[in-house]
Structure 1
Amino acid sequence: MAETDREWLAKLEAQSRAKQEAFMNGIAQRLKRPRVTEAPAHPFRGAPDFWNAFEWTPEERIERFSDNWRSVGGHVARLTGYEDVRSFIAAKANEMGARYIIRQNERELADLKLEEALPDAVVSVWNSDPDTNWKARSAEADFGIVMADYAAAYTGTVAVLSSKDKGRSVSLLPTVLMIVIPAERIRTRLGEVLIGFDRAGRENLPAGIHFISGPSRSSDIENDLTIGVHGPGIVYALIVG
């Protein structure tokens, strides 16, 4: 009588485990020490206390974030208020000849009134029209404008969460990305950002959590660096306050 599929799979499993045992026993014999068959104890969990206590002042966070952001090819502008953000974006759009702009559907960005500041450009608001292909609209945009939910100074990283009003395409597809970062959202360590997601629990996580550390950078097998292949090649961090 032929073996059933279950018996055949069990036989393969047994053969595989026997080979693994022989392989590991051979390594232990060559090292001339007994095999470790139980997982070692891990008395420590997470970051050490000294790192959890590490903290920069608000001004140090801004300076360190800016230095790290620039070190990978990003641009930084330190701005006093949202009126300055509006003027900066409008000036850059005019300088670069941007005609198609898309932004997240957030109150702070709506208050910039970019439609008035850029009368010759088309300013679109993510997910404001159910009949629009918003991925395509993002791909054709010259500028994408988003709000940072968090930033980490030590790594020069911005975290942008996605939702129905905050499509990830706005930060991934346009040629130029403008990230508005309220200064109070800049933390010292990335762990300060991650712990909040852990405490929220899986059921309360957003649809996407995107970490951005400057412009898109890609290297092939010969280490030829290319900017802007998988995302915006020009990225501005606009620190407000």
Structure 2
Amino acid sequence: MAETDTETYEAWLKRKEEESRTKQNAFMNEIAQKLNRPRVMEAPSHPFRGAPDFWKAYEWTEEERIERFTANFKAASGFVERLTDLEEAKCFIAKKAEELSAHYIVRQNQPELNGMGLEEALPDAKISVWNSDSEQYWKARAAEADFGVVVADHAAAYTGSVTVLSSGDKGRSVSLLPTVLFIILPLERLKTRLGEILIGFDEAGRERLPAGIHFISGPSRSSDIENALTIGVHGPGVVYALLVG
């Protein structure tokens, strides 16, 4: 809004920008004066950007990736099971449901899970498929769930991190809200370095990025209150990574 009748909006905007820059310069000059050194007016050079070439070429064998991922994920209080196929994964989840008396499970709406047969393996449990009913409030359904079941899109052995992407059929709440989370990780998606995963997002371009990119390294951990470590405050307290293949 113009401060005078004759001042145009463009002129007012330009004047306000100049005033703002004047205040910024005065602030930065005062800091430089208190530090007793000249103010730096040019951005420092960055001759190296991104990972060095030797790191880009760093690679582990499949067994090394499995071993390192398992160690790193367990170090963050997660659980890892190596299974032959989805049939074994189904049986493992069914067994845990019986052990932990899980009565309500929410899973992502993915081809791997659709053909897995969890419903037949758990006839006494209610299993909801994310976004399969437009009348449901799915965040609440996920918060009520004993188990959440998702399929990993990527994983990095060096950091022990699993990447789960969001979409209409893959709600982030499935991995964030249930008490126990099961992440099915096909071995061909387990990489050595996190950079192998990130470069794909960069190459895809901003317009084709998923709604959410979530990196999961074990259960939720928080030390916000008096530096006391607490598990499961902001997400699942128990997380299983099921290495399939």
TM-score normalised by L of structure 2: 0.90
Alignment correspondent of 2:26 = 18
Distance 1:62 1:22, change over 3 A: same
Identity over the aligned pairs, expressed in percent? 66
Displacement of 1:111: 1.3
**Where does residue 236 of structure 1 map in the other structure?**
240
In 1, the alpha carbon distance for the partners of 2:109 and 2:16 equals 57
Distance 1:98 1:55, change over 3 A: same
- Say whether residues 1:183 and 2:191 are aligned partners: no
Match of 2:35 in 1: 27
Residue 86 of structure 2 is matched in structure 1 by: 82
Gaps of 5+ in 1: none
Q: What value does the CA root-mean-square deviation take over the aligned residues?
A: 1.8
- Deviation (angstroms), 1:107: 1.0
Q: Which amino acid aligns with 1:51?
A: W
Question: In structure 2, the residue corresponding to 1:138 is in which secondary structure?
Answer: helix
Q: Write the letter of the residue equivalent to 1:230.
A: H
What amino acid is the match of 1:205?
A: L
Q: Give structure 2 stretches of 5+ with no counterpart.
A: 5-11
Instruction: Give the TM-score, by structure 1 length.
Output: 0.92
1:159 and 2:167 are equivalent in the alignment: no
1:90 to 1:221, Cα distance in 2 relative to 1, 3 A: closer
- The answer to whether structure 1 residue 42 and structure 2 residue 46 are counterparts is yes
2: CA distance, partners of 1:213 / 1:137: 24
Question: Number of residues paired by the alignment?
Answer: 235
Query: In structure 1, the residue corresponding to 2:35 is in which secondary structure?
Result: helix
- Is the Cα contact below 8 Å between 2:149 and 2:182 reproduced in 1? yes
Report Cα offsets for 1:9-64 as digits up to 9, x if no partner.
745642442342243145244xxxx5543222222111111111111001110110
CA distance in 1, matches of 2:145, 2:31: 56
Distance 1:136 1:36, change over 3 A: closer
User: 1:133 Cα deviation (Å)?
Assistant: 1.1
SS state at 1:95 partner = helix
Q: Extract structure 1 runs of 4+ deviating beyond 3 A.
A: 3-13
CA distance in 1, matches of 2:17, 2:44: 31
- Cα distance per residue 1:169-228 (max 9 Å; x no partner): 100010000000001100000010000000000000011111101000001242101100
Q: What is the aligned partner in structure 2 of residue 195 from structure 1?
A: 199
Partner of 2:120: 116
Q: Deviations over 1:44-101 (max 9, x none)?
A: 1111111111110011101100000001110010001111001100000011000000
